[in-house]
A and B are shown apart, each in its own frame.
Chain A
Amino acid sequence: MSPSAAGSRQPAAEGGGRGQVWRSRRYRWDLRWSPYAFVAPFFLFFAAFGLFPLLYTGWAALHQVELTDPSAMTWVGLKNFTRLWEDEFFWNALRNTVTIGLLSTVPQLAVALGLAHVLNYRLRGSAFFRVAVLTPYATSVAAATLVFVLLFGRDYGMVNWALSAVGFDAVDWQNGTFASQLAVSTIVIWRWTGYNALIYLAAMQAVPGELYESAALDGASRWQQFRHVTVPALRPTIFFTCVVSTIGATQLFGEPLLFNGGAGATGGSDHQFQTLGLYLYEQGWVNLHLGRASAIAWAMFLILLLIAGAARLLRGRGDAR
């Protein structure tokens, strides 16, 4: 506080009037504290609806709590966490989350990048196409998933019908381990590709045109321009979408829940597409074990922190290069 205060006392004293001193002080306070007042509502809400639940969940994770009587908490220390090591359902859910995450994120971002590149050309009716790629994102998870369940039906689904038309055997999309995970990923890809494409498109339009011009002068083809101009310029954006998609993939819940028809949170008869989000839900809201569910929630949080740390390391190395 002192340097700025000392610095500004001088001119005020020169001006002489007391009112001016007061005004300049008020101006200083305004400058200094108003931003805090403006951001305060967010942080108040965050404290009430973000931070408190987060901490309380951590507290509950150290207890045995049942939803039938949430106020009766028995201290069990780290038991809820240590048992996760031996919990094969947890590891299965973690494995499924990673597989489905990769199956959905990688193709999704690749296709989005390609789509953005095409949309970046001068197209007739480009506004229409740009809105069109975003429409899947605007549909609800529930509606989209219910339609995909019909498409991926074993007996009367359209996907199997198409497969049989080209001579393949019908696939039991819900029961196969890989098949079901692929089907769930398809829903995610369908919903989020357009969204990511628009983010890429925005970033592409910020790439200076001169770069392309000089590349063209050097004789670079469209593909070479894409590889050597567009992609490097988009690196921060690609990193951003990777982070967001990873968070989304870790929290994957609605699609696998509804893909399971009537069976709820089991993620298929063999838990073949039960994600961490589903397992958490099953423990907390089907089996009513709030303590165990809280431990899973915190484990997910820690996993995300680990991924974020790893990404930071990778990125740091990439920048240094």
Chain B
Amino acid sequence: MRAHARARRTLITVGTAVGAAALLLSGCAQDPEGKPEPGASADGKGKTTLTVGVFGAFGLQEAGLYDDYMAQNPGVRIEQTSIERNENYYPQLLTHLGTGSGLADIQAVEVNNIAEITATQADKLVDLGRAPGVDKAAYLPWKWAQGTAKNGSTVALGTDIGPQGICYRKDLFAAAGLPTDRAAVGALWAGDWGKYLEAGKAYKAKAGDGKAFVDSASGVMAAVTGSSAQRFYDEQGKVVYKANPAVRGAFDLAASFATEGLSAKLQQFTPAWDQGFSNGTFATVSCPAWMLGYIQDKAGPAGKDKWDVAAAPKPSNWGGSFLVVPKAGKRAEEAAKLAAWLTAPEQQAKLFEKRGSFPSASGAYRLPAVSGARHAYFGGAPIGEIFARAAEGVPVTVIGPKDLVIAQNLADIGMLQVDQKGRSPQEGWDAAVKAIDNALDQ
């Protein structure tokens, strides 16, 4: 989700100047060094330059993967351009694909945009399913399906995913008489999001007023919708969110957190939300794997040994990304090789180890870097085990081209009105539907 990109953005807190410079760079990154022919640069240092275009602090570079690849392939040099926010990155990627210029050899795509990419841009992208070194069996089936277009070509290889757990404050749980052991906490709500609400009510009864159970109602909604196979579109590609009980149910359940007074009424990825972590304003937050580092950053050293992570009521996914290789690139073959390498289980495991992005290649779950992973900040929680179990339970979600727009309006218009303005769930739903209708109407 967009929040994914946002999380990464805020994690690294790139200055405005750097952001502007990145924009500039990516604007003129089509032909780095002006190398004339693909791989034919036998002159000078004789290196093929491959460019990778990403949004936010994507992590590939930070985890040292480019350096590894360059060490193994002395003939290759990798350059990365980054645009801080996916909101700015994605429209630019579309225009570049449309004109066939200005593209990097490899481009990142966010999960909420992937359906639009596979539906409308597949003919402009290399079929990576047939690229050398790509092993379909190594990926989670649902992630592989998301990157595959209708004509059967796999144009996008998955990088990370966002299996969710519930992060909770042990000290606040203890004060409210709830269990603090992560197995017992997970058992409180296992199998049913409704039980999560019940736990919240029990928490509030003991903790008293002014103590919130969750950070925001929209965070709950994202987690609940992330656990259902069908959300906003049906298999035929028709928009069905209005009539889909899974969506309406998630909306109403999340809204009850607001109406029952269990929500801290914060908006995720805002400064106020960050302050909520450091001030212990709320006791739980549904946390995809990539959010753990964020929480650690914001809650700071004072939160150490207070936070822990338990399994979510149902396996659910929030966020994740892909890599694509545009055909217009001059070094498409080399780029496909690099993309396959970057998304192979070993590299995804390293990305998880260094950056906390959870692998979409299930082959990585057996590697010790993942299976044995523990998070010191979260009381030594076995995060590799918790999130791998969640990842394998996530249903094959039907995603549609405008998932992002629908999810965004449901959260930022509908749920926010209920949570922060005190509107009724019905009013919030109606406002969101109106905004979505307007957004989808061409």
Contact = CB atoms under 8 A, between A and B. Distances in A.
Given A87-B438, A175-B421, A286-B439, A153 B95 contact: no
Given A261-B271, A264-B412, A285 B438 contact: no
Contact of A264 (B87, B91, B420): B87
A172 interface: yes
Contact of A270 (B269, B409, B431): B431
Interface string A277-294: 000001011111101100
A24 interface: no
Contact of B269 (A70, A262, A292): A262
Contacts of B268: 262
A69 to B, nearest CB: 6
Contacts of A284: 91
Contacts of B16: 140, 142-143
A172 B272 contact: no
A261 B439 contact: no
B74 interface: no
B230 interface: no
A10 interface: no
Given A153-B275, A286-B87, A70 B95 contact: yes
B267 A68 contact: no
A271 B3 CA distance: 20
B271 to A, nearest CB: 6
A68 B275 contact: no
Interface in B262-288: 267-272, 275-276, 279, 281
Given A142-B16, A155-B275, A172-B420, A261 B405 contact: no
B421 A270 contact: yes
A120 interface: no
A22 B276 CA distance: 82
Interface residues of B, number: 39
A263 interface: yes
Given A69-B98, A71-B98, A270-B417, A262 B6 contact: yes
Interface in A24-77: 64, 66-71
A266 interface: yes
A174 B419 CA distance: 13
Contacts of A69: 98, 120
Interface in A264-321: 264, 266, 269-271, 282, 284-289, 291-292
B87 A262 contact: no
Contacts of A143: 16
Contacts of B271: 146, 149-150, 153, 261
A68 B94 contact: yes
Interface of A: 64, 66-71, 87, 89, 140, 142-143, 146, 149-150, 153-156, 172, 174-175, 261-264, 266, 269-271, 282, 284-289, 291-292
List 6 A-B pairs, minimum CB-CB distance, nearest first.
A261-B270, A269-B416, A262-B269, A263-B412, A68-B120, A287-B439
18 contacts: A69-B98, A153-B271, A153-B275, A155-B276, A156-B272, A261-B267, A264-B2, A264-B408, A266-B412, A266-B413, A269-B412, A270-B417, A286-B439, A287-B405, A287-B439, A287-B440, A288-B94, A292-B442
